Amino acid sequence: MAASPPDLKDKVSHLRRLLIEVAHRTGGAYLAQALSGLDLMVAIHYGFARSDPSRPDWPERDRFLLSPGHYALALYVILADRGYFDNDLLWTFKEDGSPLELATHRGTVPGVEASGGSLGQVLSLGVGMALSARRRGRAHRVFVMMSDGEQDEGQVWEAAAAAAHFRLANLIAAIDCNGFQVDGPTREVLDMEPLGDKYRAFGWNVEECDGNDLDAVCAAFERLCRGETGRPGILIGRTVRGKGVSFLEGHPAFHYTRLDPASRDRALQDLFGADTDAV
């Protein structure tokens, strides 16, 4: 593992501040989702996925595929922090002509490996990449980040069946289970629980934990990345949408969030106490 949980906790804290600032300055983002899924994404990018920002097309890199493309801002702050592109580009988020689109689009900036937004499709892409890697004798892994809402999609389960059938131990998925989708609580829209039992029934190696507890997340990924079972692995992370910001946490009204100066300050106060200096 490239970074330890204490180091990752400092990184998450820094990136949460950056998420708040970018959302505030650029007129809004899918901020609550970015806050809930950030711990999972940071653990993968800094702790487990092999990559080299100076060589974004390095053939042996591990691939990270973001299925819910509206989590884009979380991915962008990670990529900027790691040096895939200049940090100043973040302040152009969503502007006309900016490569930092509201939903991720492959080919816009280095490090974006898949186009997201049409939910339920990217696990299939991950299956194809993982199968291709094995057939070509490549050692890299494929990480796929999903949301709980997209587990409603039948294509997810077709891909899950294929991954188990081909015994793709080089495929590791994660689900940000924050309990909400655009139409409301996931259990009310279409209850797909128990997700862990479903993936086990499909033949996956399953870990479940608090997805905002980096110690637990890293321990789970450590077990999954060993690939000892010869099966694809998945971490089901139980998270809080809007993690750390009191007026966002678990609130159904904030699918998309705009922060005025007062709400920006309140968010930073929740996360960092009195220290609300801008980045």
The answer to the question of residue 278 being in a domain is: no
Domain carrying residue 143: 5-272
SS3 category, 23: helix
Q: Could you tell me the CA-to-CA distances from 230 to 17, 66, 163, 166, 227 in Å, in that order? A: 39, 24, 11, 10, 6
Low-confidence ranges of the chain (pLDDT < 70): 1-3, 274-279
The answer to the question of residue 152 being in a domain is: yes
Q: What are phi and psi of 78, to 5 degrees?
A: -65, -50
- The CATH code of the domain that includes 135 is 3.40.50.970
The answer to the question of residue 206 being in a domain is: yes
The answer to the question of residue 236 being in a domain is: yes
Q: Could you tell me the CA-to-CA distances from 39 to 45, 46, 218, 260, 263 in Å, in that order? A: 10, 10, 10, 25, 23
The answer to the question of residue 124 being in a domain is: yes
pLDDT of residue 117: 81
pLDDT of residue 276: 56
Read off the pLDDT of residues 105-127 as tens digits, 9 standing for 90 and up.
Answer: 999 999 999 999 889 999 999 99
The tokens for 86 are 């200049």
133/65 Cα distance (integer angstroms): 15
pLDDT of residue 21: 98
Alpha helices in the chain (DSSP H): 5-25, 31-42, 72-82, 122-135, 154-165, 186-189, 195-201, 214-225, 261-272
Mean pLDDT of the chain: 95
pLDDT of residue 279: 55
The answer to the question of residue 75 being in a domain is: yes
- Name every residue whose Cβ is closer than 8 Å to that of residue 150 and which is 6 or more positions away in sequence: 67, 68, 119, 120, 156
The predicted model scores a pTM of 0.95
**Is the peptide bond between 194 and the residue preceding it cis, with omega within 30 degrees of 0?**
yes
DSSP structure class, residue 47:
I
The answer to the question of residue 277 being in a domain is: no
276/113 Cα distance (integer angstroms): 34
- Name every residue whose Cβ is closer than 8 Å to that of residue 121 and which is 6 or more positions away in sequence: 67, 153, 155
32/45 Cα distance (integer angstroms): 20
Q: How many domains does the chain have?
A: 1
The answer to the question of residue 172 being in a domain is: yes
